[in-house]
C-alpha cells in the first residue's frame, strides 16, 4: 500500500514535470490524488507547481474540509471533488494551462477530430466545458456532463482538465491532450487536418475496446455498434510555390538550430 508521504512526493514530481514542460506559469494549475473514499491530497493555492514540497500538500475530505496541512487548498478544489464524486474509479486529477490546448479552449474548439491513431485510441475526444467563473460551482457544473464518457475536457477560456486511474495516467493524458492540440493546430496551418476514414476509426475503436480503454471516440457518423466516427474526408491536393517551400524549409531549419543550441 502506498503511504501518504509517497503520494505527496508523487504530486511534487508531477508538479515539477508540468512546470518544466510549460504547462503552467507562476502559480497556475492544481493536482490531486484520492487516498481513500473520503480523503484526498491536493496542491495548495499560491505556490508554483515547480517548487512544491511534500509538507505543502494538503489533505481534505469529500466536502473540502482541511484535515491536515498548514496551507490553503487550491481554489479549484470543487472541480477536483466533483470528478471524484462522479467517478469512483478515478484516483487522480490534473488541471493545467498547456498553451495549445488552452488556445483551443479559448477558441471554443473541441479536440474531436480523428487525425492521429494514437489520440483516437488513447485519448478519445476532448469536449469543451462551458465557461465558469474559477473557484465557483459554475466550473464543476460545466464539467459534470462530460465526466462519465470522456477522459478530460477543455475548460472554455481557462485551460484543460484530465482524470485517470492514477496520477501518472492523468498526467500522461494531459501530455497526450496537449500534443494532439499542437499537431491539430500545425495541420490546420497547412490546410491538412484530414481525418481518418470511418473504417479506420472503427478498427481503432475495436482495438480500444479490446485494450479496455475508456473514453468516447471521435463523433460523427453512426456505426452499427453505436460508436461514432467521422465521415471519410476526400483527399485534397495541395500546390506550394517555390517561395512557400523556401519559407517552410527556413523555419524548420531555424527550429532545428534552436533545439541544437539548447543542448550545446
Which residues are the active-site residues?
A: 76
β 152-155/128-129 pair status: parallel
CA 174 to CA 96: how far, in whole Å? 8
Q: Choose among 202, 243, 216, 259: nearest CA to 111.
A: 216
Contact, 60 vs 119, CB < 8 A?
no
CA distances (Å), origin 161, targets 110, 119, 206: 13, 16, 26
φ/ψ of residue 39, rounded to 5: -135, 140
| Dihedral sign, Cα of residue 229, residue 231, residue 237, residue 241 | negative
Q: Choose among 176, 156, 155: nearest CA to 164.
A: 176
Contact, 61 vs 31, CB < 8 A?
no
Cβ within 8 Å of residue 249, ≥6 positions away: none
**DSSP 8-state code for residue 122:** I
Amino acid at each position: 500500500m502506498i503511504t501518504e508521504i509517497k503520494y505527496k512526493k508523487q504530486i511534487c514530481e508531477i508538479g515539477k514535470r508540468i512546470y518544466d514542460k510549460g504547462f503552467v506559469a507562476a502559480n497556475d494549475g492544481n493536482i490531486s490524488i484520492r487516498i481513500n473514499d473520503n480523503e484526498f491530497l491536493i496542491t495548495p493555492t499560491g505556490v508554483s507547481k515547480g517548487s512544491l514540497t511534500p509538507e505543502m500538500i494538503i489533505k481534505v475530505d469529500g466536502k473540502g474540509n482541511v484535515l491536515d496541512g498548514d496551507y490553503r487548498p487550491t481554489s479549484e478544489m470543487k472541480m477536483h471533488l466533483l470528478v471524484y464524486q462522479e467517478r469512483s474509479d478515478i484516483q487522480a486529477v490534473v488541471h493545467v494551462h498547456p498553451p495549445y490546448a488552452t488556445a483551443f479552449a479559448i477558441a471554443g474548439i473541441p479536440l474531436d477530430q480523428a487525425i492521429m491513431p494514437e489520440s483516437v485510441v488513447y485519448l478519445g475526444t476532448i469536449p469543451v466545458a462551458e465557461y465558469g467563473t474559477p473557484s465557483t460551482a459554475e466550473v464543476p457544473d460545466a464539467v459534470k456532463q462530460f465526466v462519465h464518457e470522456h477522459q478530460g475536457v477543455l475548460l472554455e477560456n481557462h485551460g484543460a482538465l484530465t482524470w485517470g486511474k492514477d496520477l501518472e495516467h492523468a498526467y500522461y493524458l494531459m501530455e497526450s491532450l496537449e500534443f494532439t492540440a499542437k499537431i491539430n493546430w500545425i495541420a490546420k496551418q497547412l490546410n491538412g487536418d484530414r481525418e481518418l476514414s470511418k473504417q479506420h476509426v472503427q478498427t481503432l475503436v475495436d482495438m480500444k475496446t479490446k485494450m479496455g480503454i475508456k473514453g468516447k471516440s471521435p463523433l460523427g457518423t453512426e456505426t452499427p455498434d453505436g460508436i461514432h466516427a467521422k465521415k471519410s474526408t476526400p483527399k485534397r491536393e495541395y500546390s506550394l510555390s517555390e517561395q512557400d517551400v523556401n519559407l517552410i524549409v527556413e523555419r524548420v531549419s531555424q527550429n532545428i538550430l534552436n533545439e541544437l543550441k539548447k543542448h550545446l
